[in-house]
Chain A
Amino acid sequence: GDSVTQTEGPVTLSEGTSLTVNCSYETKQYPTLFWYVQYPGEGPQLLFKVPKANEKGSNRGFEATYNKEATSFHLQKASVQESDSAVYYCALGPDTNAYKVIFGKGTHLHVLP
């Protein structure tokens, strides 16, 4: 079945350093790929999505490229801030069911001031 595997956390960085959260996926479909972010006490919210292979998505300084050949969608940011501390989820949808989205297990990022 479809699956998403992402960097296991927690990831701890100092402010101003670069971030990469790896995300790999398996599917026989042609999915849309998502990154969601969840701040403490809130539900996840969309960071950005990319519907087509070989295209890049970006928002708030974060970016990821939908790499169909490598089946990857790694999240990157050049310089993290303390306010980026959150849980990041990679997701793909739909899977074989038109309404289902497969989420990764989440990566908890702590950014130290």
Chain B
Amino acid sequence: GGIITQTPKFLIGQEGQKLTLKCQQNFNHDTMYWYRQDSGKGLRLIYYSITENDLQKGDLSEGYDASREKKSSFSLTVTSAQKNEMAVFLCASSPTGGAAEQFFGPGTRLTVL
């Protein structure tokens, strides 16, 4: 088996601040995802990557950047934190594409003061 680790577990920032969330997986999966989870809105895709150094925008990419410098890691940057984007950010990985199971990390909860 494998595991997905997300750091930090809780992230507190000031409005306008640039913040980075990190994700590591040891499944050796090719595809990785970042989702934003808001209460009552489900999971919305921010970015995904199908291999090292690949980046693809999801439906909610505005205000975010991503980086996949290694196969095992995928980071997400909030370019200018806003109070209305307090949410849980979930990282996931998958061996292939959309018909395969996704394995999720425990999430990073973002609070913006």
Contact = CB atoms under 8 A, between A and B. Distances in A.
A89 B45 contact: no
Q: On chain A, which size bracket covers the interface?
A: 20 to 34
A41 interface: yes
A94 B98 contact: yes
Given A43-B4, A43-B104, A43-B107, A51 B45 contact: no
B43 interface: yes
A44 B99 contact: no
A46 interface: yes
B48 A100 contact: yes
Query: Main secondary structure on chain A at its contact with chain B?
Result: loop
A95 interface: yes
Nearest to A38: B104
B37 to A, nearest CB: 9
Contact of A100 (B58, B104, B105): B58
Contacts, number: 61
Contacts of B35: 103
Nearest to A32: B99
A44 B98 contact: no
B33 to A, nearest CB: 8
B97 A99 contact: yes
Contact of B90 (A41, A43, A98): A43
B104 A45 contact: yes
Interface of A: 31-32, 34, 41-46, 49, 51, 89, 93-95, 97-101, 103-106
10 contacts: A31-B99, A42-B107, A44-B90, A51-B99, A89-B42, A95-B98, A99-B48, A101-B98, A103-B42, A105-B42
Given A49-B101, A100-B45, 17 more contacts: A43-B4, A43-B90, A43-B106, A44-B102, A51-B99, A93-B97, A93-B99, A98-B97, A99-B48, A99-B50, A100-B48, A101-B98, A101-B102, A103-B35, A105-B42, A106-B40, A106-B42
